[in-house]
Homo-oligomer: A and B are copies of this chain.
Amino acid sequence: MSRPSQAKLTTPNQPGVSVIQSQVAAAAPSATAASLQQVPQLIPAHPAAGGGKAAPPSKMKKQQADKDSEEYRQRRERNNLAVKKSRMRSKQKAMDTQQRVNELKEENERLEAKIKLLSKELSVLKDLFLEHAHNLADNVQPPAAAAGASPGPNTTSANGQ
């Protein structure tokens, strides 16, 4: 349900420093000129309780300073880089996995085909074998009651797994 809306305070940010995208050229025909800035967004629900207001009276000098800090920017940049790297890997991995699926599927089919083939071969041999056995039995057998010899169609399937 509702989501406590978030607040965003105006961040007193007027950084004059950073920003700036250097070249957008390349392939940007239409101007998306819009700045792509995200600007502040939610506000931390302050732990401060008290029931007063939440105005940002002070305390942000430090923060501001932090953000302007060269140190900070550097860290951010490094992290952004790491993030990109990580995400790239993640995507790559996903793709690899997908491909693995395809490969395995293919191999599976090959294996199944092979099984089919082997099964057939086996069945043929078995038939031959049985046939032979019958012949032998018939032949070797002395004249006796061999009347109803029916070379029954012997099925060769006795596979179980």
Contacts and interface: CB of A to CB of B under 8 A. Distances in A.
A100 interface: yes
A150 interface: no
Given A38-B4, A54-B10, A125-B129, A17 B77 contact: yes
Interface in A24-76: 24-32, 35-47, 53-57, 64, 67, 70, 73-74
A87 to B, nearest CB: 12
Range of interface residues on chain A? 35 or more
A19 interface: yes
Interface of A: 2-32, 35-47, 53-57, 64, 67, 70, 73-74, 77, 80-81, 84, 94, 97-98, 100-101, 104-105, 107-108, 111-112, 114-115, 117-119, 121-122, 125-126, 128-129, 132, 161
